[in-house]
Structure 1
Amino acid sequence: MHTAHTDSYYAASLNLPLAYPTLEENLDVDVCIVGAGITGAAAALTLAEKGYRVAVLEANRVGWGASGRNGGQMIFGYACEQSKLTRMVGLETSRALWDISIEAMTLMRRRIHDHGIDCDLADGHLHAAVKPRHMQELEAWAEDLIRNFGYQGLQLWDRQRLRRQLASDAYLGGLYDPNSGHVHPLNYTLGLVKAAAQAGAVFFEQSPVTRIERGATPVAHAPGGQVRCRQLLLCGNAYLQHLVPEIERKLMPVGTYITATEPLGRERAEALIANNMAVADLNFVLDYFRLSADHRLLFGGRVSYSRLDPPNLAAAMGRRLRTVFPQLAGVHQQYTWGGYVGITLNRAPHFGRLERNIYYAQGFSGHGLALTGMAGSLMAEAVAGDAERFDLFGRIPHRDFPGGRLLRTPALVLAMAWYRLRDLL
């Protein structure tokens, strides 16, 4: 168990230092939530506003996991392509799921506004093409979203138009969405936690749930006490730590990494990304980047399937960064950090119930900044008796990772090696 945030740019620039006690008593509440990231905080906020008695148990600090250390990119849709979702669940359900993903971004903006969350919200996101095949994929993607899902505003940029906004020769073009955007994810998460606490939810830090009892009144056990509840929400995603094996088998924690440069100054930063959009390329092992509010470049990429950080991580991240922006040679990288993304085999989110009164939401597969907040709201809707939208996600078929806990990582490494080879072709 850890007691401090990871040594990241986000932790160094957090603007809302929150601290909550460790659970040292036995409580009886309406709803117990495991995990104080965006999903747990959003569920707590929605339920507390409805008058439910809510307790949230966090193993480390609020916002400690993926919610507080991710790339900060707020993007439409899901980690799997919408066309893939359509093949899995049919067009009608796929449209309903698409609408939820767009509502997730609207909801995120509304919460930031309504609760005065200071998190450097900025508009605009680009999916960038590294090779001609990617441009063809982007054209087909845009056509599908416009024709079948009525999504307006997408712009296909050729290389010349992209070059006016992005000072890199690494890309052939891209798909720009003015409705997507980016934020400081830790400050956003902490703002949600504060709003939920003000609405009446009770948070406990350094209170890992070691065991759950199922039944009519589930009980979450922590080292210092326990919480008995009517409904239990599991919101730990890749950090649930073997608490529930039957959903753990559907999830693979994958390490992913970000480096932050020293402040570049406004002029130099704006020369890199003129319109301040966030960018992600289309490789399976992708690069993604954006500017921070204080004019740093935050550059993400690399993955690890071994649960060990790659050697010489900062240097490796710096090489990737300079491949995209060679003009940053010699710029100091002030922070480099990582965390786990919970991916599913099909890259679609995995929501459902263990029992009538135990819900879970996981497997955002690196595409969760907006969707996690929506997941919390959908879980709260289900607790309040309207599970229709939450249960839509139950129509998505999910398979276990092959090989069990010991062998699934080597099997995944072999599979990912194939996709990485495909990136290079």
Structure 2
Amino acid sequence: MPPQPPAALSLWSDTASQPPQTAALDRDITCDVAIVGAGYTGLHAALALAAAGLSPVLLEAADLGAGGSGRNGGVVSAKFRRSYPDLARQHGLETARRMYDIAHASVRHLQETLDRFDLADTGFRKSGALKCAHTDKAFARIKAETDWLENAFGSSAGRILSSDEVQEETGSSIFHGGILQEDAGTIHPLRYLHALAGAVTKQGIALHTRTPVQTLREDPTGVILETPGGRVRAAQVLLATNAYSSLTGASDTVARCLVPFRSAIIATEPLPDQLDRQILPSERSYTETHRMMRWFRKVDGRVLFGGRGALGAVDSPTAFRRLEKALHHTFPELRDLRTEYRWSGYVALTLDGLPQAGRLSPNVSYAAGFNGAGVAMSGYVGHRIAGAMTGRPAELGLIHRDRPLKLPFYPLRSLGVRAVTFGYELMDMLE
């Protein structure tokens, strides 16, 4: 059996609800759809397929939450890595508007799922998101994008805040202004995952953890998946493995579309009462405008601070120290507080900055590449691609692909990540 990622020791794992009871597959089975990966994408797809009258089976290589769905920052956002003006320039205004609608539909879908299955213990708050400009030039850029969205789409894209207003919102004096977006929020990502998994098992859907799919082959009757404990024969397969698609060769085609980029998070000890009132009093999610994006939020009186650029295959002490330095630059008052949690995980970047979903063959579909903004989007795409597998239109705009967009020079991807990271950090320093 290939080595599987251990569950991250994190603030989330220490404060999570209990997951449903699961077990590894230990026999041969037959099903309508085998879903490889039990993260947000796979769980939402399973619920949609069961609602359509099919019998899906979920196959998770490790324990629930060992992948990105249990390691992320819990930021619920209506965005893509690509800007909407950029999408309009390349694909036209109507397509950009469609993508804007999809992004906001993903947040609504998350909320509707919580209501439909009565998933109350997830910590979800629709508290909004504040993009904080680290320079006057960055502030001018995000103001121009906000104006463009309002002029092009005829709807309010966000409220422009002055530097004084951002300081009141954050408790930090380093920012030059910001944009407050209301259609966003925060969630406890591992409680959300466990609640979804509980909804799946209550629907009678089989969920097998510690069941890596080692090989996948098609024959005239469907697809055969080999696992250490048994063989699965399925009419269709959905690969929902995202940034962890290279764990086995079964999802190698998906892995070749993605750059797994390590993202790290630190969490402070609980703030003293005075600092708790001063720092992030609205408890929104917050992002900076650096090219090497950093974000922060407050959970249970602690400040979480995260960012990309943690290179390598394991947790990096250097990356955590850099985050602490950035945290203390943003909030000097926190210098004397201990960092109580440090963890990291992969996000899946794509060549064009957009998620991908579609068919690899008549019987095998996939969904992946959420570019670090997948808490809402991954579940929505999983739901929509499951619908496409039952014959309904996918209605995913540029996300739906006739063929996967593969990375050129895939074996050199790690060198590319390091080069891009160095370039972005250099531009941030020069700016």
Which category describes the TM-score, using the shorter chain as reference length? over 0.9
User: Which of 59, 62, 68 is equivalent to 1:60?
Assistant: 62
Following superposition, the deviation at residue 153 of structure 1 comes to: 5.5
- 1:234 is aligned to 239
Superposed CA offset, 1:37-82 (max 9, x none): 0000111112122221110000111222111110111111211112
User: Which of 42, 45, 48 is equivalent to 1:40?
Assistant: 42
Q: Within 5 Å, give how 1:183-332 maps onto structure 2.
A: 183-215=187-219, 216-241=221-246, 242-264=249-271, 267-292=274-299, 294-332=300-338
Superposed CA offset, 1:97-144 (max 9, x none): 221111110111122233232111121111111012211221122122
Aligned amino acid, residue 342 of structure 2: T
- Whether the aligned pair in 2 keeps the contact of 1:256 and 1:301 (CA below 8 Å) is yes
Superposed CA offset, 1:144-163 (max 9, x none): 22222344261011101111
Following superposition, the deviation at residue 265 of structure 1 comes to: 5.0
- Whether the aligned pair in 2 keeps the contact of 1:45 and 1:197 (CA below 8 Å) is no
Superposed CA offset, 1:280-302 (max 9, x none): 1111211101011x211111014
Q: How many Å separate the matches in 1 of 2:273 and 2:393?
A: 47
Distance 1:229 1:151, change over 3 A: farther
Distance 1:304 1:333, change over 3 A: closer
Q: Within 5 Å, give how 1:414-425 maps onto structure 2.
A: 414-424=419-429, 425=431
Q: Within 5 Å, give how 1:72-111 maps onto structure 2.
A: 72-111=74-113
Superposed CA offset, 1:363-395 (max 9, x none): 111011110110111111112211341475235
- Whether the aligned pair in 1 keeps the contact of 2:95 and 2:397 (CA below 8 Å) is no
Which structure 1 segments of 5+ residues have no match? none
Superposed CA offset, 1:169-204 (max 9, x none): 221111101221111111111111111111221100
- Whether the aligned pair in 1 keeps the contact of 2:163 and 2:177 (CA below 8 Å) is yes
Structure 1 segments, 4+ long, off by >4 Å, are: 395-399
- 1:350 is aligned to 356
Name the SS of the counterpart of 1:44 in structure 2. helix
Q: How many Å separate the matches in 2 of 1:163 and 1:149?
A: 30
Name the SS of the counterpart of 1:203 in structure 2. strand
- Whether the aligned pair in 1 keeps the contact of 2:34 and 2:234 (CA below 8 Å) is yes
- Whether the aligned pair in 2 keeps the contact of 1:236 and 1:362 (CA below 8 Å) is yes
Q: How many Å separate the matches in 2 of 1:29 and 1:235?
A: 17
TM-score, length-scaled by structure 1: 0.94
**In the alignment, structure 1 residue 121 sits paired with structure 2 residue 124:** yes
Aligned amino acid, residue 227 of structure 2: A
- 1:341 is aligned to 347
User: Which of 125, 142, 147 is equivalent to 2:146?
Assistant: 142
Aligned amino acid, residue 288 of structure 1: W
Name the SS of the counterpart of 2:199 in structure 1. helix
- Whether the aligned pair in 2 keeps the contact of 1:31 and 1:52 (CA below 8 Å) is yes
Following superposition, the deviation at residue 303 of structure 1 comes to: 1.5
Name the SS of the counterpart of 1:335 in structure 2. strand
User: Which of 18, 38, 57 is equivalent to 1:16?
Assistant: 18
TM-score, length-scaled by structure 2: 0.93
Q: How many Å separate the matches in 1 of 2:337 and 2:39?
A: 32
Which structure 2 segments of 5+ residues have no match? none
- Give the number of equivalent residue pairs: 423
Q: How many Å separate the matches in 2 of 1:342 and 1:244?
A: 14
Name the SS of the counterpart of 2:182 in structure 1. strand
RMSD: 2.0
User: Which of 176, 179, 203 is equivalent to 1:175?
Assistant: 179
Q: How many Å separate the matches in 2 of 1:280 and 1:193?
A: 29
Name the SS of the counterpart of 2:128 in structure 1. strand
Distance 1:106 1:98, change over 3 A: same
Q: How many Å separate the matches in 1 of 2:289 and 2:262?
A: 19
Q: How many Å separate the matches in 2 of 1:397 and 1:132?
A: 41
- Whether the aligned pair in 2 keeps the contact of 1:67 and 1:185 (CA below 8 Å) is yes
Name the SS of the counterpart of 1:374 in structure 2. helix
Superposed CA offset, 1:198-234 (max 9, x none): 1221100000111111244112211111211111111
Distance 1:299 1:350, change over 3 A: same
Q: How many Å separate the matches in 2 of 1:417 and 1:108?
A: 35
Aligned amino acid, residue 338 of structure 1: S
Superposed CA offset, 1:345-378 (max 9, x none): 2211122210122111111110111101101111
Distance 1:125 1:344, change over 3 A: same
Following superposition, the deviation at residue 266 of structure 1 comes to: 5.5
Distance 1:333 1:304, change over 3 A: closer
Q: How many Å separate the matches in 2 of 1:415 and 1:329?
A: 30
Aligned amino acid, residue 342 of structure 1: A
